[in-house]
């Protein structure tokens, strides 16, 4: 945002600041109004699905929905108009979410009773996350994101292990309990294994035989222990992200890895680290 294009009209720059930034009072008001409109529109979708409400207030909810869609359309066009690079905005994550949140309403006008389109309207909720880009939640969200990214490989290993486990446990239970006890097929048994291992435990399917209950008990204690692994992974990553540890920052002299962002010298051999923040006089 350093070099503003001089050639653009001043009102476009001013309007863009209101729409894309939340630093000014006007921008803050705009953002709050937008969030309110999103909440109202999602609430409309929800209420419309409740039989008693939908029957009675259906037309009213429809009108509100139409009005909000018009509003979101104007907003989208303004964003296209005032964005520094309209094409870049249209292809960005929030650009796609913005268009996805108005398109289905127009499609539903052309092709009525397309119930599945209503899912996409709920995606409007994702627009709420736009505010995280603006306010002080930014650094918090980035620490969380950094921690999750750093643990991605470990979490992949973990999920692969869990999926293999539930497949084997599910198949075993299918053989032990069988269709007569609710384990009608291997996919259903794997579903049961996931319900059990994640400690959700609906109880719609539950083992009846002694052997089945014993295996289920083992699976539960296993699942109880297994939950500790992702927790451990995320905690350690978060602690490192918080301290500013950068796993890729290597000492050029002794090869020690994982110095913090703040570190000036290698903690082992005292060598000056490259890429120091340089805030020191």
Which parts of 115-154 interact with a copy of itself (CB under 8 A)? 115-116, 118-119, 122-123, 125-126, 128-129, 132, 136-137, 140-141, 143-144, 147-148, 153-154
Residue spans of alpha helices (H) in the chain: 10-20, 25-49, 51-82, 86-91, 93-100, 103-110, 117-122, 137-150, 152-177, 186-197, 210-226, 228-243
Q: Is the dihedral of CA 268, 274, 278, 281 positive or negative?
A: positive
Q: Segment 40-59, which members bind a copy of itself (CB under 8 A)?
A: 42, 45-46, 49-51
CA-to-CA distance for 30 and 19, rounded, in angstroms? 7
> Of residues 4, 32, 109, 227, which one binds a copy of itself by CB under 8 A?
227
Is residue 107 a contact point for a copy of itself (CB under 8 A)?
Answer: no
Is residue 239 a contact point for a copy of itself (CB under 8 A)?
Answer: yes
- Residue with smaller CB distance to a copy of itself, 73 or 188: 188
Is residue 164 a contact point for a copy of itself (CB under 8 A)?
Answer: yes
Strand, helix or coil for residue 227: coil
CA-to-CA distance for 68 and 113, rounded, in angstroms? 19
> Of residues 78, 80, 103, 236, which one binds a copy of itself by CB under 8 A?
236
CA-to-CA distance for 257 and 24, rounded, in angstroms? 43
Interface size with a copy of itself, residues (CB under 8 A): 97
Q: Segment 63-102, which members bind a copy of itself (CB under 8 A)?
A: none
Is residue 179 a contact point for a copy of itself (CB under 8 A)?
Answer: yes
Closest among 42, 133, 60, 152 to 94, alpha carbons compared: 133
> Of residues 13, 80, 155, 250, which one binds a copy of itself by CB under 8 A?
155
């Amino acid at each position: 945002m350093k070099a503003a294009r001089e050639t653009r009209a001043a009102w476009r720059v001013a309007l863009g600041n209101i729409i894309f930034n939340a630093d000014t009072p006007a921008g803050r008001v705009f953002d709050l109004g937008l969030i309110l409109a999103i909440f109202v529109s999602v609430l409309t979708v929800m209420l419309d699905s409740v039989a008693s409400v939908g029957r009675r207030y259906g037309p009213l909810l429809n009108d509100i929905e139409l009005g909000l869609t018009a509003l979101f359309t104007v907003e989208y066009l303004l964003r296209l108009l005032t964005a520094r690079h309209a094409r870049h905005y249209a292809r960005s994550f929030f650009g796609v979410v913005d268009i996805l949140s108005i398109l289905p309403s127009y499609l539903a006008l052309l092709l009525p009773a397309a119930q599945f389109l209503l899912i996409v309207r709920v995606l409007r909720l994702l627009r709420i996350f736009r505010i995280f880009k603006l306010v002080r939640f930014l650094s918090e969200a980035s620490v969380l994101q950094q921690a999750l990214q750093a643990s991605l490989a470990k979490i992949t290993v973990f999920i692969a292990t869990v999926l293999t486990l539930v497949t084997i446990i599910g198949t075993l239970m299918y053989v032990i309990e069988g269709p007569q006890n609710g384990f009608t097929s291997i996919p259903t048994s794997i579903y049961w294994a996931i319900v059990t291992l994640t400690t959700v435990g609906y109880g719609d399917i539950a083992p009846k035989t002694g052997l089945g209950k014993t295996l289920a008990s083992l699976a539960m204690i296993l699942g109880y222990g297994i939950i500790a692994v992702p927790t451990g992974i995320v905690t350690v990553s978060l602690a490192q992200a918080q301290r500013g540890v950068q796993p890729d920052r290597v000492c050029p002299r002794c090869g020690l890895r994982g110095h913090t962002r703040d570190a000036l010298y290698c903690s082992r051999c005292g060598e000056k680290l490259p890429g120091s923040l340089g805030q020191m006089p």
